[in-house]
Amino acid sequence: MEWIIGLQALLQATVRMAAPLTFTAVGETYGERAGVINIGLEGLMLIGAVVAYAVAFASGNIWLGVLAAGLAAMVFGMLFGVVTITLGANQIVAGAALNLVGLGLSSFIYRAFFGTVTDRAIQPLEAVKIPLLSQIPVLGPVLFEQNMLVYMALLLAPLAAWVLNRTMLGLAIRSVGEHPKATATAGLSVIGLRYGAVAFGALLAGVGGAYLSVAYANQFVENMVAGRGFIALAIVVFGRWSPLGALWASLLFGFTFALQLRLQAANIQIAYQFLQILPYVATIVAMILLRGQSAQPKALGIPYTERA
């Protein structure tokens, strides 16, 4: 029976590790479906992580921290929008700048305001057992004995998929990433839709970052996002630009993280670096296997101007 408990713990950790990736990747899926690629997710997540931690620390309320993190990241997402959507600057370049600003700003805020604070712990976000469902063997603890943010991530993906695929708003977002001129001809605002999608994506990246500090580590550590923003970018591709695909890909990446930590903890003599690089190799392999039937939005990365 011991292996079942081990498996259960492994899967529980998988879901826990996948949640921040799900938030960020679902948000970025919206942005990219609207035609805007934001490689600055890492920076946005860092801003979310530090703001959530600082606000939760000061107010004693974790949810206030999560909200502030989302809003702060959204502000930076809007600034990114001004540069890339309104001014039409190159999105890769602006995203690289956003990463630098996010990395610097998060460390700056933390050092400037918490440099002298010694007791930096915050109340962790506790797991909420869902009655009955959490009694199911293995699956119960894995899916129904997590914190609220994990539930939100799990529900977000199907909801986002429904909006994107089944509503007029979703249709408008998809069309603006495929053929912005046609969208404009139909009387919709290309600029407005893109701002909306980018702001939504940034908000979710902020929540993803907040998850790391207030729901996972219960503290802020400099550069704690540790590449997850870039992984989210890969997840969007891996998930073929669909919110549900992003959820599955997040779970896969979460699984490799969880497995790697367990093997390291169990001191098993496998070079853990090979597990570390597994998700990145898997992404490239998946891209190779799925090539040709590309789901990439046609107008991705191309600034829109009314004239052209």
Task: State the DSSP H helix or E strand holding residue 146, giving kind and residue range, or none if neither.
Answer: strand 145-147
Q: How far is the CB of 96 from other proteins (least distance, A)?
A: 5
Report the residue number, 97 or 127, with the smaller CB distance to other proteins: 97
Give me 12's structure tokens.
Answer: 């529980």
Q: How far is the CB of 294 from other proteins (least distance, A)?
A: 8
Report the residue number, 58 or 284, with the smaller CB distance to other proteins: 284
19 within 8 A of 164, measured Cβ to Cβ: no
Q: How far is the CB of 127 from other proteins (least distance, A)?
A: 30
Pairwise CA distance, residues 65 & 49, whole Å: 9
Report the residue number, 12 or 99, with the smaller CB distance to other proteins: 99
Residue partners of 39: CB distance under 8 A and separation at least 6: 91, 92, 95, 96, 98, 99, 230, 233
12 within 8 A of 141, measured Cβ to Cβ: yes
Q: How far is the CB of 26 from other proteins (least distance, A)?
A: 17
Report the residue number, 150 or 202, with the smaller CB distance to other proteins: 202
Q: Exposed (0-12), middle (13-18) or buried (19+): which is 271, by Cβ within 10 Å?
A: exposed
Q: How far is the CB of 67 from other proteins (least distance, A)?
A: 21
Report the residue number, 120 or 166, with the smaller CB distance to other proteins: 120
Q: How far is the CB of 52 from other proteins (least distance, A)?
A: 18
Report the residue number, 99 or 146, with the smaller CB distance to other proteins: 99
Q: List Cα–Cα distances, 6 to 127, 194, 203, 283, in angstroms.
A: 19, 45, 35, 27
Q: Buried (b) or exposed (e) across 78-115, using 16+ Cβ within 10 A? A: eebbebbbeeeeebeebbeebbebbbebbbebbeeebe
What residue ranges bind other proteins (CB under 8 A)? 37, 39, 43, 79, 82-83, 87-90, 92-94, 96-108, 111-113, 115, 222, 227, 230, 233-234, 237, 271, 273-274, 276-277, 280-281, 283-284, 287-288, 291-292, 294, 296, 305, 307
> Which residue type is seen at 151?
Y
